[in-house]
Amino acid sequence: MTDKSDTPESVDSDCLEAFDHLYAYVNGELTDKKSVAMIEHHLDHCRSCFSRAQIERELNERLKNSGKNTAPVALENRLKKLIEDF
Ligand SMILES: [Zn+2]
């Protein structure tokens, strides 16, 4: 019984709470200072949420950049190809 993934009480509630605000936080839409502080504190201490935030950030950047470069079409083609491959 040492599997960390099976101990919901110690980690998960914090992570779930952070995750709730993570998207808004990464998007800069989280204006409530308490929530921002809470998330930043949690990210400081929780590696999995930290990397999750990094991923969200990167996705955001890509979305923003791709929006400028008419990438939706490229993305659409890629998705179509993915679907065809299935
Ligand atoms: Zn966490």
Tell me the three-class secondary structure of the chain, residue by residue.
CCCHHHCHHHHHHHHHHHHHHHHHHHCCCCCCHHHHHHHHHHHHHCHHHHHHHHHHHHHHHHHHHHHHCCHHHHHHHHHHHHHHHC
Q: What is the pLDDT of residue 77?
A: 80
Q: Is residue 17 part of a domain?
A: yes
The range of the structural domain enclosing residue 33 comes to 8-85
Counting the structural domains of the chain, the total is: 1
Q: Is residue 1 part of a domain?
A: no
Calculate how far, in angstroms, residue 42's C-alpha sits from the geometric centre of ligand 1.
6
Q: What is the pLDDT of residue 39?
A: 93
Give the predicted TM-score (pTM) of the model.
0.60
Calculate how far, in angstroms, residue 58's C-alpha sits from the geometric centre of ligand 1.
18
Calculate how far, in angstroms, residue 10's C-alpha sits from the geometric centre of ligand 1.
10
Q: Is residue 3 part of a domain?
A: no
Task: List pLDDT tens digits, range 8-61.
Answer: 445 578 898 888 899 899 989 999 999 999 999 999 999 999 999 999 899 888
Calculate how far, in angstroms, residue 66's C-alpha sits from the geometric centre of ligand 1.
29
Calculate how far, in angstroms, residue 60's C-alpha sits from the geometric centre of ligand 1.
20
Report the distance separating Cα 12 and Cα 6, nearest Å.
10
